């Protein structure tokens, strides 16, 4: 986001009046940024073509009289929408397991991509929704694979099946599925190996397992940091095990998952969940808008609001929502939101969703993230009612207030300024939300 905005701003300041030229300059900046985020080259060039057509369409003559700022906004909006379209598999039917029936789900993916972890997460997800779920370990390649699944399963209280001695993965898979079927399990999840002495053999193994367990759904697990290799890898798995959905893991890390777009495009298969950490509950439904926001580096406002609503009390949420719908976001809103967030657990996860916060906290660990968050809480606690209920401009008008708050909270003026800047960002986003909800169009927070 910063990178893209910065590039676009630079481009803008160098542009003459020529609309087409400025569109091209801005597009070039965006293309570079997307390539740096590992979005596939062919896709980027197609995207560029689509956007260029949209913006330079003859029917869009009105565009030519737009100011640079309007053009910039339109380009961002178009890029955002085009990227969402790429990862949004609207028309694709995603498998829904049926109650009182046996639903077999098989996992495929390279070693280390997060299959075993995601199997357990999915098992917990369905188990919470009232399904009787069992886990089968068909990874006989790696010593310790069964133990890992077993430990995960025990922690999550999910029944499991595996073998320490059997070396034929198809045989273990068949036995496990048969056993759970007999016991009237509704969802049977089969974990597989992701490595073999030869690649060919791995794909052959997937075909054999799939042949015996006859999955109703096959899921490919993809590491978000895969980058440009995503296309080739997902195509290979698609050929051998025709998966119908993708789980994208490690979205909590540095990778923005640009490679995943290629996997979706190359296999025409939707992403259904994302993994956001090593813990069982670090698992979210995939949202195209949140994904693209992260890819472009803007805060995940929607995701944040959703999570916020689940833990905060009703009145606070209502008051906040009302303010936001009016395009307002006061320091008091900020304070309440932070208090709620402190209850939401893994701070580094949450920080990722707040614009600017990810940058402030950077790639720091949980402890540091928590310290930064507390600092903000102290600063807000040191403000008086008048200040909290304000839009923050009061501090710019009377800087002595900043000095007082810094002293009171045991922080520095720069820390206070940072908090104010953040609140300003949120307030701007509230404005965007207001505008976009008025127009019925999805907003582009932060842009
Ligand atoms: P498998 O070889 O495909 O079965 O992969 P595993 O499930 O064993 O995962 C490999 C490593 O990635 C383990 O250390 C997991 O804890 C870790 N891992 C899996 N999913 C995620 C995730 O969403 N976020 C993070 N940070 N780590 C993950
Ligand atoms: Mg595994």
Report CA(120)–ligand 1 centroid distance (Å): 11
Q: Which ligand 1 atom is the nearest neighbour of the CA of 139? A: 4
Q: How would you classify residue 38: left for phi > 0, otherwise alpha for psi between -120 and 50, otherwise beta? A: left
Of 87, 115, 130, which marks where a domain is finished?
Answer: 87
**92 with 268: CB under 8 angstroms?**
yes
If one residue of 111, 278, 346 were mutated to test the ligand 1 pocket, choosing by the most ligand atoms within 8 A of its CB, it would be: 278
Question: Does one domain contain both 286 and 367?
Answer: no
What band does 114 get if pLDDT is binned at 50, 70 and 90?
A: very high
What is the pLDDT at residue 412? 92
Q: Which ligand 1 atom is the nearest neighbour of the CA of 276? A: 23
Residues with CB under 6 A from ligand 1: 109, 111-117, 194, 221, 249-250, 252-253, 275-278, 282
Question: Does one domain contain both 119 and 71?
Answer: no
What is the pLDDT at residue 214? 96
pLDDT tens for 239-268 read 988 999 999 999 888 777 888 988 998 898
Question: Does one domain contain both 51 and 183?
Answer: no
Q: Rounded to two decimals, what is the model's pTM?
A: 0.67
Question: Does one domain contain both 358 and 231?
Answer: no
Question: Does one domain contain both 108 and 136?
Answer: yes
What is the pLDDT at residue 443? 34
Report CA(193)–ligand 1 centroid distance (Å): 13
Q: Which ligand 1 atom is the nearest neighbour of the CA of 277? A: 24
If one residue of 112, 113, 117 were mutated to test the ligand 1 pocket, choosing by the most ligand atoms within 8 A of its CB, it would be: 117
Report CA(299)–ligand 1 centroid distance (Å): 25
Q: Which ligand 1 atom is the nearest neighbour of the CA of 109? A: 3
Above 80 in pLDDT, residue 133? yes
Structural domain boundaries, residue 51: 2-87
Question: Does one domain contain both 132 and 190?
Answer: yes
Question: Does one domain contain both 290 and 308?
Answer: no
**Domain membership flag for residue 96:** no
Report CA(146)–ligand 2 centroid distance (Å): 8
**Domain membership flag for residue 122:** yes
**Domain membership flag for residue 98:** no
Q: Name the residue at shortest CA distance from atom 13 of ligand 1.
A: 114
Question: Does one domain contain both 202 and 187?
Answer: yes
Above 90 in pLDDT, residue 370? no
Report CA(158)–ligand 1 centroid distance (Å): 18
Above 80 in pLDDT, residue 16? no
Report CA(258)–ligand 1 centroid distance (Å): 19
What band does 440 get if pLDDT is binned at 50, 70 and 90?
A: very low
Question: Does one domain contain both 124 and 249?
Answer: yes
**Across residues 400-427, what is the average pLDDT?**
90
What band does 363 get if pLDDT is binned at 50, 70 and 90?
A: very low
Q: Which ligand 1 atom is the nearest neighbour of the CA of 117? A: 7
Q: Give the total number of structural domains in the chain.
A: 3
Question: Does one domain contain both 415 and 306?
Answer: yes
pLDDT tens for 148-203 read 999 999 999 999 999 999 999 999 999 999 999 999 999 999 999 988 667 788 89
Q: Which listed ligand is nearest to 149 at the C-alpha?
A: 2
**Across residues 227-236, what is the average pLDDT?**
88
Question: Does one domain contain both 162 and 205?
Answer: yes
Starting at the edge strand found earlier in the chain, the sheet holding 187-192 runs: 160-161, 133-138, 187-192, 103-108, 217-223, 245-249, 271-275, 283-285
Distances, alpha carbon 173 to alpha carbons 24, 169, 177, 238, 373, in Å: 54, 6, 6, 20, 46
**Across residues 389-393, what is the average pLDDT?**
90
Supply the ipTM of this predicted assembly. 0.99
pLDDT tens for 266-303 read 898 999 999 999 999 889 889 888 888 777 765 555 55
Above 60 in pLDDT, residue 51? yes
Q: Which listed ligand is nearest to 109 at the C-alpha?
A: 1
Of 295, 311, 341, which marks where a domain is finished?
Answer: 295
């Amino acid at each position: 986001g910063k990178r893209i905005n910065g590039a676009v701003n630079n481009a803008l300041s160098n542009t003459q009046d020529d609309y087409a030229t400025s569109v091209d300059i801005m597009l070039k900046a965006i293309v570079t940024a997307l390539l740096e985020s590992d979005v596939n080259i062919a896709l980027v060039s197609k995207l560029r073509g689509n956007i260029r057509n949209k913006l330079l369409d003859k029917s869009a003559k009105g565009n030519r009289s737009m100011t640079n700022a309007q053009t910039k906004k339109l380009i961002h909006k178009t890029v955002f929408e085009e990227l969402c379209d790429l990862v949004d598999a609207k028309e694709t039917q995603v498998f829904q397991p049926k109650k009182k029936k046996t639903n077999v789900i098989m996992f495929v993916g390279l070693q280390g991509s997060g299959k075993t972890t995601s199997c357990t997460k999915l098992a917990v997800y369905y188990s919470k929704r009232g399904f009787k779920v069992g886990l089968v370990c068909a990874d006989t390649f790696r010593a310790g694979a069964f133990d890992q699944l077993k430990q995960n399963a025990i922690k999550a209280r999910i029944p499991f099946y595996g073998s320490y001695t059997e070396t034929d993965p198809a045989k273990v898979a068949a036995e496990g599925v048969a056993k759970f079927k007999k016991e009237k399990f509704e969802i049977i999840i089969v974990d597989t190996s992701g490595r073999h002495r030869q690649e060919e053999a791995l794909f052959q193994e997937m075909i054999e397992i799939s042949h015996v367990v006859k999955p109703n759904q096959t899921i490919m697990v993809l590491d978000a940091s895969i980058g440009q290799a995503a296309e080739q890898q997902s195509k290979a798995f698609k050929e051998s095990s025709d998966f119908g959905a993708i789980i994208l893991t490690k979205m909590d890390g540095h990778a923005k998952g640009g490679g995943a777009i290629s996997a979706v495009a190359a296999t025409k298969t939707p992403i259904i969940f994302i993994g956001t950490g090593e813990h069982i509950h670090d698992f979210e439904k995939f949202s195209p808008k949140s994904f693209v926001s992260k890819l472009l580096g803007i805060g995940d406002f929607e995701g944040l609001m959703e999570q916020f609503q689940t833990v905060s009390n009703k009145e606070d949420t209502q008051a906040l929502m009302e303010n936001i719908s009016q395009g307002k976001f006061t320091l008091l809103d900020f304070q309440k939101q932070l208090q709620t967030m402190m209850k939401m657990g893994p701070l580094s996860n949450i920080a990722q969703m707040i614009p600017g916060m990810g940058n402030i906290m950077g790639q720091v660990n949980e402890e540091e993230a928590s310290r930064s968050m507390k600092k903000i809480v102290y600063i807000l606690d040191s403000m008086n009612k008048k200040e909290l209920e304000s839009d923050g401009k009061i501090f710019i008008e009377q800087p002595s207030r900043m000095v007082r708050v810094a002293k009171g909270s045991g922080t520095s003026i720069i820390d206070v300024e940072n908090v104010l800047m953040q609140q300003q960002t949120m307030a701007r986003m509230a404005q965007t939300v207001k505008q976009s909800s008025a127009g019925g169009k999805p907003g582009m927070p932060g842009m």
